[in-house]
Amino acid sequence: MEVVEQGVRRITFALPLGIDHVHCYLLRASTGGWILVDTGLGSRDPETKWRPVLDELDAPIEQIVVTHMHPDHVGGARDVAELTGAPVLQGREDYAQCVSAWGADRSLPRLAGWWESHGLPPGQAEAMRHRFETIEKRMEAREKAAEAIDTAITLIKQQNQISIDERGALREAQREMKADITSRLDRIENKIDRKVGALSMTPQKTVKIQ
């Protein structure tokens, strides 16, 4: 954490994108606490990522402000909110765009189309659609594999065909299989993310701002 000036601190997180880092800022509130501005990407282990930051502060984070809906700015908002109990503040229209882009009804190919309509060259947009489709297929495969394992375990238990000790071994095997599936898919998705990130961060000559 870097002290920019009195009452202003800067946190820098690495990014697996074409842009290799993002800054988040802490502003001293009139109450004596801190206001966090932007949150970086979400994390599978928020405690490890944010605890050193929180422990270094002399007062709690009282509010979290999201400047815009890009994932490297809004992605960690839930993580920090759950760790601190601070409310998240975001503009109404920006929040609606955030839900549309990253929520349950998101469409990654549609997002590529939106970027194309705002100046991304068609060839790059098509490449992004292909990579996005690969990501979605991998995510679907992960979910189906996990469901299949859970279903098999449930059926075996219901039929009462194995002993208690065997069930314990089976549960451990289930965890190992899920971990292996997740690890393999994570490695693939991370490679795709880096390629898509590098592509999406390529400067363009024509960009519409609305």
Q: Where are the alpha helices (DSSP H) in the chain?
A: 46-56, 71-74, 77-84, 92-102, 108-117, 122-159, 164-200
| Residue 109 near residue 79 (C-beta atoms within 8 A) | no
Report pLDDT digits (tens) over 138-160. 767 767 777 776 776 666 666 65
Decide if pLDDT at 168 tops 70.
Answer: no
User: Residue 197 half-sphere exposure, CB side, CA atoms within 13 Å?
Assistant: 17
Which of 3.40.50.1000, 3.60.15.10, 1.10.10.10, 2.40.50.140 would CATH assign to domain 2-105? 3.60.15.10
Residue scoring higher pLDDT (112 or 95): 95
**DSSP secondary structure string for all residues of 141-166:** HHHHHHHHHHHHHHHHHHHT-S-HHH
Mean pLDDT of 38-54: 92
Decide if pLDDT at 124 tops 70.
Answer: yes
Q: What is the pLDDT of residue 105?
A: 74
- Across the chain, mean pLDDT equals 78
Mean pLDDT of 176-191: 61
| Residue 51 near residue 64 (C-beta atoms within 8 A) | no
Q: Find the distance separating the first CA and the last CA of the chain, reported in whole Å.
A: 33
Residues 62 and 28: their CA atoms lie apart, in Å, by 10
Q: What is the pLDDT of residue 116?
A: 83
Decide if pLDDT at 22 tops 50.
Answer: yes
Decide if pLDDT at 121 tops 70.
Answer: yes
Q: What is the pLDDT of residue 17?
A: 72
Residue holding tokens 């994570």?
A: 186
Residues 91 and 84: their CA atoms lie apart, in Å, by 21
The full set of domain ranges for the chain reads: 2-105, 113-200
pTM exceeds 0.75 for this model: no
Q: What is the pLDDT of residue 77?
A: 94
Task: For the chain, give the longest Cα–Cα distance.
Answer: 67
Mean pLDDT of 79-98: 93
Sign of CA dihedral 96, 99, 102, 104: negative
- Which 3 state secondary structure label does DSSP give 52? helix
Q: What is the pLDDT of residue 207?
A: 36
Task: Tell how strand 61-66 and strand 34-37 pair up.
Answer: parallel
